[in-house]
């Protein structure tokens, strides 16, 4: 695995508290890739981790800006999208994006999409529920990119993630995952080690201050039966 270091992670440019809103208590504003993003959040919500913006999602946004990565005419899916900030940026960068998470989080994603995506982009943005390892077969296997931010910290989820990735990907698919290593470095590192049995895996960027790694992966030649050995 190769590593490069980046000292500073992008920060929100401003924020605004909101009232009488069933979904959000605050709107966070970011500037990235020439866009001004407006993302509704609700920290400490009963819906869990998916209602706030985490450093790993910001790291991928900044990485795409730094590397000049564009997604025109590319088919993209994000797993565990949370607020949807990463997928929203990818859609603005030209991607045909499917944004997925648990059913309870879809409303907030849809609202954040409405805040940021012009009407002429809307046909290229889909918001859908996806339960890893359960209903992934309802999705195609022809994605150009698969994205995920901070979804690798529980070992019990890994077999479901692997099974989902093997279905969604093909030999041309590029996978970008970002992980906040401080959260559970041992488990996260072990999970990526296991993923490396199925995917060629390298660390392409590291944000030292926030302890975030960005991984780029491409598929090896695994068989579905291998997942049972996890």
- C-alpha 79/C-alpha 77 separation (Å) is 7
Say yes or no to pLDDT of 225 above 60: no
80 close to 101: Cβ distance less than 8 angstroms:
yes
Cα angle: 136, vertex 138, 140; to 5 degrees? 85
Say yes or no to pLDDT of 73 above 50: yes
Closest to 60 in 3D by CA, of 23, 14, 110, 95? 95
Residue 226 confidence (pLDDT): 52
Question: Which two structure tokens, joined as six digits, stand for 215?
Answer: 């991984």
Say yes or no to pLDDT of 90 above 70: yes
Report all structural domains of the chain as residue ranges with CATH numbers, in order of start.
5-229 (3.40.50.150)
Residue 228 confidence (pLDDT): 47
Residue 184 confidence (pLDDT): 87
| Burial of 10 from C-beta contacts in 10 A (0-12 / 13-18 / 19+) | middle
Which strands make up the sheet holding 14-17, listed edge to edge?
Answer: 14-17, 26-32, 35-41
Residue 196 confidence (pLDDT): 94
Count of C-beta atoms within a 10 Å radius of residue 103 = 10
| Burial of 99 from C-beta contacts in 10 A (0-12 / 13-18 / 19+) | buried
Place of tokens 């879809």: 106
Mean pLDDT of all residues in 206-222: 91
Residue 182 confidence (pLDDT): 87
Say yes or no to pLDDT of 167 above 60: yes
Of all helices (H) and strands (E), which one includes residue 14? strand 14-17
């Amino acid at each position: 695995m190769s590593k490069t270091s980046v000292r500073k992670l992008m920060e929100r440019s401003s924020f605004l508290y909101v009232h009488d809103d069933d979904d959000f208590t605050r709107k966070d504003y970011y500037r990235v890739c020439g866009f001004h993003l407006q993302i509704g959040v609700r920290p400490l919500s009963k819906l869990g981790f998916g209602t706030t913006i985490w450093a790993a999602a910001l790291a991928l946004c900044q990485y795409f800006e730094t590397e000049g990565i564009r997604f025109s005419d590319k088919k993209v899916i994000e797993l565990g999208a949370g607020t949807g900030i990463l997928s929203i940026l990818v859609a603005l960068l030209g991607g045909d994006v499917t944004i997925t998470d648990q059913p309870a989080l879809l409303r907030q994603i849809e609202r954040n999409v409405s805040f940021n995506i012009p009407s002429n982009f809307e046909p290229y943005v889909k918001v859908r529920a996806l339960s890893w390892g359960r209903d992934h077969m309802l999705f195609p296997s022809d994605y150009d990119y698969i994205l995920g931010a901070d979804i690798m910290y529980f070992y019990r989820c890994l077999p479901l993630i692997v099974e989902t990735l093997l279905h969604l990907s093909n030999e041309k698919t590029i996978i970008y995952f970002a992980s906040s290593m401080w959260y559970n470095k041992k488990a996260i590192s072990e999970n990526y080690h296991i993923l490396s049995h199925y995917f060629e895996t390298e660390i392409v960027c590291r944000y030292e201050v926030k302890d975030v790694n960005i991984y780029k992966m491409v598929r090896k030649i695994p068989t579905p039966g291998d997942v049972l050995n996890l």
